[in-house]
Amino acid sequence: MRRAIVVGSGAGGATAAKELQGKFEVTVLEAGKEFRPLSLSLPTMERLKRIGLLFDEREIQLIFPAMQIRKTEDMILVNGIGLGGTTTLCTGNAVRMDQDLRASGINLDAEFEEIYQEIPITTEHQKRWHKHTRRLFEICQEMGLNPRPTPKMGNYDRCISCGRCVFGCPQGAKWDSRRFLEMAQQKGAQVITGCKVERVVIEDGRATGVWAKEGWARRFYPADLVILAAGGLATPVILQNSGIPCEPRLFVDPVLCVATEWSNALQCKEIEMPFIVRQKHFILSPYFDYLSFLFNKAWKYPARDTLGIMIKLSWRTLTWEAFQKGNLRKPSLVRISRG
């Protein structure tokens, strides 16, 4: 049987492995290790913050290696490294956002229907919301913002409202791509961790395998098919090392977070992004931003008394120049009305 190498075990890599195994002998190469949820408690992290030991977002990697942080002058880039890639850190949202593709003549109904058959999608988490989340939902309704419970991937009967979605769900309530990896392995796929692919070997215009680094050693993995799914940050590096030029540009989706003091909000003990407001040029969703809370000095209230909102602005509204010139470079703490 022909051999296929899949580089990366996130959403793309795990899906490719699941689909290819059986048609190929699949080997998944993952640069990170087995994923483990963060074990450090929030009170402990708060103590570290109070005594001044948390001052740079990259420190989070010392206690949670699965969360990789890169910093630029204006932005903090976060991605996952380890089995499951960034899906282990995402909030498990299943909001369908393909309307612009549909307007361009691309209909993905069949693809979405297939996904819905493979991944459980639910809003059952609504019955577990804390009272302040419910009140915030009501405020958005009163303002005519038409909030909707966020569809989530997974089985939220297991959810214990620990608020640690972005540190890896300890209860397994949130779906991540390791489920697809398990399905591929059950059919015979091999998964190798701690294996960082450096370049693809190309002979006569055809990929014949990859060179990868495992510890101090380098090893060649031959293949008839190579799938690069190492993410938007790592894949271009592999392509460049393989002699395939990439344009020196990167598009990222900025997440802006604001917060206010709200006594006993307990958002830090709530499911992340429980509901969503979708308007023409912006999206709002309640979100306790751990990185801002732990490392931004403006987020000065105790975690239990901090309520945050994630803001996404359309690029029609927020140009890159405006983003750089404005006061939106870093998450901030502001006061909002509770109605």
Q: Mean pLDDT in runs of 10 for the chain (339 residues)?
A: 97 97 98 95 95 94 94 87 96 92 95 94 94 96 97 94 94 96 97 97 96 96 98 94 90 85 95 95 95 93 96 67 47 42
Residue among 158, 169, 229, 192 at smallest CA distance from 36: 169
pLDDT of residue 24: 98
Which pairs from 251-255 meet CB under 8 Å and 24+ separation? 252/75, 252/77, 253/312, 254/75, 254/312, 254/313, 254/318, 254/323, 255/289, 255/310, 255/311, 255/312
pLDDT of residue 63: 92
pLDDT of residue 317: 53
List residues bridging with 243 in a β-sheet: none
Residue 85 to residue 6: CA distance in whole angstroms = 13
List residues bridging with 310 in a β-sheet: 257, 285
pLDDT of residue 329: 41
Residue 7 to residue 227: CA distance in whole angstroms = 6
Residue 28 to residue 5: CA distance in whole angstroms = 6
Q: Which amino acid is at 260?
A: T
pLDDT of residue 327: 44
Domains of the chain in start order, with CATH, are 3-35+177-241 (3.50.50.60), 42-81+85-175+253-333 (no CATH)
Distances (CA, A) of 267 to 43, 167, 271: 14, 15, 8
Residue 155 to residue 162: CA distance in whole angstroms = 15
Q: Which residues contact 300 (CB under 8 A, 6 or more apart)?
A: 333
